[in-house]
Amino acid sequence: MSGRAESAYVSPRRIGAMMLRYWYLLRSSWPRLLDLVYWPTVQMVTWGFLQYYIATNAGFFARAGGTFIGAVLLWDILFRGQLGFSISFLEEMWSRNIGNLMMSPLRPIEFIAALMVMSLVRLSIGAVPVTFLAIGFFGFNLYGLGFALVAFFFNLMLTSWAIGIFVSGLILRNGMGAENLAWSIMFLFMPLTCVYYPVTTLPVWLQPVAWLLPPTYVFEGMRTLLIQKVYRGDLMLDALALNAVLFAAGLFGFLKLLQSARRHGSLMQTGE
Amino acid sequence: MCAMPDFPPIAVERLVKIYKTIPAVDGISFTLTPGSITGLLGGNGAGKTTTIATIMGLTTPTSGRVTVLGAEMPRQRYRVLHRMNFESPYVEVPMRLTVRQNMTVFGMLYGVGDLRGRIVELGRQLDLTDLLDRPTGRLSSGQKTRVSLAKALINNPDVLLLDEPTASLDPDTADWVRAHLERYCRERHATVLLASHNMAEVERLCERVIIMKRGRIEDDDTPAKLLARYGRRTLEEVFLDVARGSGVESEAAQ
């Protein structure tokens, strides 16, 4: 297919080009690969021992099905999914390559698609080995959640992408001054999405806010499954509906921020 | 591939670009003819980079209109971006990737057919063959410039925008780059807009020179006519006349 006609529509070849670019980058740098595995492992081991301690000193609730390790692993999917997206994007800013991309035939939607796939790749490299370590160290088999894990994973990834897309837009518009958001924004959601405790723990006035966030449904669903052995499909459907809204809002925000960056000339001023 | 005869490669009509309250470009108009090399001169802050960024669709005009090969920028940019390319000191190719990897990625982005062959061809033309499998970040400044030029030529662009293409190069490498650009434009009948502070470079390459000052076009003509009009021997002297406000208008006023 000739390049002359190719830029008229969304092109798998351009998406592939960006994926190849990030793959070359990962391959060329062992510290980058190590970083993908190191922190999820530390998290899982720390929380695993805490779970073990509580299980041997507390009652039924704490022992029920490894809710802490499960929460840590699912939280890591959410956090690492967003970070994987944002770091790939930040690589372009750090290397002052964003101008090259914005002036190439690469469309924003193709760029975003490549970043989404790369967040999956990075997550797989970082999180999959850790799930096997969880089996070895603490006897917690995440894959034992079966189909529910697919629903949890899909919903968490959608949320992580929506946040990653929006944060990337903020960085495009505001430059590297907004970089810290990429590293920290997910922690804003941590207390509200009730990763380690039920929603009922929150003050009554805060609970409706928690229920506006899709991951809340996932973590509640996980606890229900592990403690009561009940899969709540209704919670996953609610999460999916909220994620659809969140993803559309993230995409809309990104495009508006990109438009604003063009208006303000920010795309020429990005860099390390 | 030549530009369609109906559409000028680049047409800028009453372009205004204001950042907050500061006008970076203030109502400029010019049209380039196919196969021409035009120099865009001006001191720092004259509006050259903003003009080039607007032509590339990287910034939105406050008012006025820019078209490239008939497509309005930035609204219709995807119609023509694969037929354009650029080189600028404001951007770099990724340093951790090898030259070949960078060329592969950009070749795929620009939809280049027979990409392997094109990389070999560019490697030969730009004396990069022995460097293709080395990380770009480990190359010398002159070699990196050649890589940037290879990226700018990967898609055989009909319209090429160059912002200081030989800045920070030693005279030998700079001369080599100029010779290559001349050859490329002659062979491909490509249209080039070249922003530069290097007057000798502009004098050698350009058949037309647009001089900008404070966002406006101060003068626009062939190098020979500019020299004659200002009564100067070099474009550098003409440039200084314009920059210091001692040009033909000042003399006429006296």
ipTM value for the complex: 0.87
- Residue A49 forms part of a structural domain: yes
Say if residues B11 and B191 touch (Cβ distance below 8 Å).
Answer: no
Nearest by Cα to B57 from A256, A97, A258: A258
Which of A77-91, B140-154, B230-244 is least confident?
B230-244
Burial of residue B205, with CB atoms counted within 10 A of its CB: 0-12 exposed, 13-18 middle, 19 or more buried = buried
pLDDT interval class at B201 (50, 70, 90): confident
- Where do the H-state alpha helices sit in chain A? 3-6, 12-27, 30-57, 60-63, 67-94, 98-102, 108-138, 147-174, 179-189, 207-210, 214-223, 233-264
Query: What digits encode the pLDDT tens for the residues A130-176?
Result: 888 888 888 888 888 889 999 999 999 999 999 999 999 999 998 88
Q: Is A244 contained in some domain?
A: yes
- The Cα of B152 is separated from the nearest Cα of chain A by a number of Å equal to 10
**CB-CB contact of B216 with B28 (8 Å):** yes
Residue B118 contacts A, CB cutoff 8 Å? no
The pLDDT score that the predictor gives to residue B113 is 92
Q: How far apart are the first and last CA of chain B?
A: 50
Q: How far apart are CA A74 and CA A63, in angstroms?
A: 18
Residue of B nearest to A104 (CA): B81
User: Chain A residue closest to B111 (CA)?
Assistant: A3
Residue A65: what pLDDT? 57
Cα angle, residue A31 at apex, residues A28 and A36 outer, rounded to 5°: 105
**A window 3-22, beta carbon within 8 A of B:** 3-4, 6-8, 11, 13-14, 16-18, 20-21
Residue A185 lies in a domain: yes
Owning domain of residue A124: 10-267
- The verdict on residue A1 lying in a domain is no
- Greatest extent of chain B over all pairs of C-alpha atoms, in Å: 62
- Residue A146 has a pLDDT of 87
Domain boundary assignment for chain B: 10-245
In a domain, A168, yes or no: yes
Class of domain B10-245: alpha beta
Interchain CB distance below 8 Å, A265 and B95:
no
User: What tens digit of pLDDT does each residue of B23-77 get?
Assistant: 899 999 999 999 999 999 988 888 988 999 999 988 999 999 999 999 999 889 9
Mean pLDDT of the A58-76 span: 73
Q: Considering all CA atoms of chain A, what is the largest pairwise distance in Å, rounded to the nearest integer?
A: 69
| Chain B interface includes A102 (CB < 8 A) | yes
**How many structural domains compose chain A?**
1
Q: What is the pLDDT of residues A207-244, one digit of tens each?
A: 999 999 999 999 999 999 988 889 999 999 999 999 99
Q: Is the residue at A200 inside a domain?
A: yes
Residue type, B4: M
d(CA A254, CA B78): 18
